[in-house]
Amino acid sequence: MPGDPRPIGVFDSGMGGLTVLRALLARLPLERFVYLGDTARLPYGTKSAETVQAYALQASRLLVSEGVKMVVIACNTASAVAVGPLTEALAPVPVIGVIEPGARAGVAATRNNFIAVIATEGTVKGGAYARAIAALRGDIRIVQQPCQVFVALAEEGWTDTRATHEAADHYLRPLFRGPSPPDTLVLGCTHFPVLASAIRAIIGSSVALVDSAETTALAVAEALEGEGLGSDGNAGGAGATRFFATDSPERFARVGEIFLGRPIDALSVELVDLRVL
């Protein structure tokens, strides 16, 4: 059976979702991708659920207009409130968010049934990870910590500085001291994987670190296989990515390099206006 050469669509409120794209490119080298960063309207975490759903639908419509075979919501806030509405609106195009895969991986990793989740304030307040984990295993204890400063540090490229380590110590040490701390930490924000070194320095080597970008890439790979949508690479363009941004392609390229782990040509980033969709 021939492969499906159509690209996979990925969107986020900004650049953090490029960690998800980075994991997708590594796991699915034969696929092509379209990435949209809604940089004109970030952050989503401060918006109402209704507004985020509207933004997510506009972003998804752009991706669908580009002929994608699947939509990946590489944003925790949008995943928390928009997976259901998008699944219904975009059918039969499959929709995958980052929260469910991260929750499943956290449940699989814990041995003492105690999981810590760090995320933005909006994601923590919304409780999406806590609900997803509880739905899988009701006996697991969960502690959550908003780490808003991590977002700014990541976007400045301060991935392994004194300030980053001090912030990690401030946020994480209280969670992991005591006789029975969590044995698993879920990175509930797509910005946080680039800070893994500073985070690991505080929590130690024995704590399982769950990267929602990696777990989402695995979920996408499984969905492609299950639905027969995988590419065989014969159509060419394997690993190629088109980039869209809703504001400042130059800044998208400059900051996005931190998260994608490779240079982005600003001239290749297409400026779009989602409000007309």
Q: Mind listing the pLDDT tens digit for each residue in 213-257?
A: 999 999 999 999 999 999 998 877 888 999 999 999 999 999 999
In this predicted model, what pLDDT tens digit does every residue of 148-174 receive, in sequence order? 899 889 988 899 899 999 999 999 999
- Mind listing the pLDDT tens digit for each residue in 42-85? 888 888 889 999 999 999 999 999 999 999 999 999 999 999 99
- Return the percent helix, strand and coil in the chain, to nearest 5: 50, 15, 35
The rounded Cα 76 to chain-centroid distance in angstroms is: 6
Indicate if the pLDDT at residue 1 is higher than 60: no
Any idea which architecture 8-97+214-276 has in CATH? 3-Layer(aba) Sandwich (3.40)
Compute the distance between CA of residue 4 and CA of residue 242 in angstroms, rounded to an integer: 18
Per the DSSP assignment, residues forming a β-bridge with 12 are 37
pLDDT, mean of residues 187-214: 95
Please report the pLDDT score of residue 236 as a whole number.
Answer: 79
- CB 36 within 8 Å of CB 15: no
* All structural domains of the chain with their residue ranges: 8-97+214-276, 99-212
What does the pLDDT average to over 200-204?
96
Average pLDDT of the residues of the chain:
94
Is pLDDT of 39 > 80? yes
How far apart, in whole angstroms, are the C-alpha atoms of residue 20 and residue 256? Answer: 12
pLDDT value, residue 237: 84
Known catalytic residue at 75: yes
Residue 229 confidence (pLDDT): 96
pLDDT score at 275: 83
Model confidence over 127-140: pLDDT tens digits?
A: 999 999 999 999 99
| C-alpha dihedral, 189 to 121 to 97 to 28, nearest 10° | -10
- pLDDT average, residue stretch 86-113: 97
Which of 10, 23, 62, 75 is catalytic? The answer is 75
Residue 251 near residue 275 (C-beta atoms within 8 A): no
pLDDT for 42 equals: 87
- At 2, the pLDDT band (50, 70, 90 cuts) reads low
CATH domain 99-212 topology? Rossmann fold (3.40.50)
Predicted confidence (pLDDT) per residue in 186-197, tens digit: 999 999 999 999
Q: How far is it, in rounded angstroms, from Cα 223 to Cα 226?
A: 5
List the beta strands (DSSP E) in 67-135: 71-73, 95-97, 114-119
Catalytic choice (189, 198, 202, 258): 189
Same fold, 8-97+214-276 and 99-212: yes
